[in-house]
Amino acid sequence: MVIKRILPLSAARIGGLIYALIALLFGFVLWIVSLVGLNISNLSGSPFAPVAPQYIVVGGAVAVLTVPVVYGLFGFIVTLTGAWIYNFIADITGGIRIEIQPDGASPIAE
């Protein structure tokens, strides 16, 4: 079996969504870590404590919303470009040859 062509928009749509979901997960984790840091700075008497809560809470919410969109957009563009490059190279070289083996059967050689 040979993979001769990848539909660029189809691959880019999947790639963009995967990148956006990864960024959403990391965005939430980063926001939680920053809120924990804010709590620690309040307990330690930091000079930034009176100003920091508003910026961290609002900035974290904005980041959780915008970072996945931007990251997903870049993932879409990179995947689209990668699929286009693959198709270009596959036309020249013939594509990627893969072997598929059904469960419990002997390997199929081409």
**Token digits of residue 72:** 């997903």
Q: What is the pLDDT of residues 41-88, one digit of tens each?
A: 665 665 655 655 666 667 777 878 888 999 999 999 999 999 999 999
Q: What totals of helices (H) and strands (E) does the chain contain, helices first?
A: 2, 2
* 37 or 49: which leads in pLDDT: 37
What is the predicted pLDDT for the residue at 41?
61
Question: 85 - beta bridge partners?
Answer: none
Q: What is the pLDDT of residue 20?
A: 94
